[in-house]
Amino acid sequence: MSRAHDRDAYVYRIVLNERATSRRRRWWQERPTAELPERPTLRDTADLSDLTTTVQAAPGQLSEPHRRVIVLRYYTDLTEAQTAEALGVPVGTVKSRLSRAVAALAADLSLADVPGWSPR
């Protein structure tokens, strides 16, 4: 039997090659450690309640067309085309309303203290 027809040898060679390749790769996954990292401290629930109220109230300060676009685009995660179809307006109108609504939210000083908030 020739080497070309020996399936077991072929499979064995593949397994060896894959093992050698995996050994050369860097390991980016978890590693055991003797000391666990500190857990993040929980924030006061009153702070979280105030934060939630602030974020939920922010779109309420926008005009009705701008609020609709923000809700459909970001809250319900529709595309710009789907948002345009739902509102019955062109895609360009959706884009301009989104731009103006985000600019208005960026100028809202009550959102300045929200962690992770960065206007576009």
Q: What is the pLDDT of residues 92-112, one digit of tens each?
A: 999 999 999 888 888 876 666
Please give the CATH number for the structural domain made up of 48-111.
Answer: 1.10.10.10
Residues 6+ apart with CB under 8 A from 9: 3
The CA–CA distances, whole Å, from 59 to 8, 25, 56, 65, 68 equal 66, 48, 7, 11, 9
Residue type, position 111, single letter: L
Residues 6+ apart with CB under 8 A from 62: 70, 101, 104, 105
pLDDT of amino acid 114: 66
pLDDT of amino acid 20: 81
Nearest of 87, 109, 110 to residue 98 by alpha carbon? 87
* Sign of the dihedral defined by the CA atoms of residues 52, 54, 55, 56, in that order: positive
Q: Which residue numbers in the chain have pLDDT < 70?
A: 1-4, 25, 27-30, 40-48, 109-120
Domain borders along the chain are 48-111
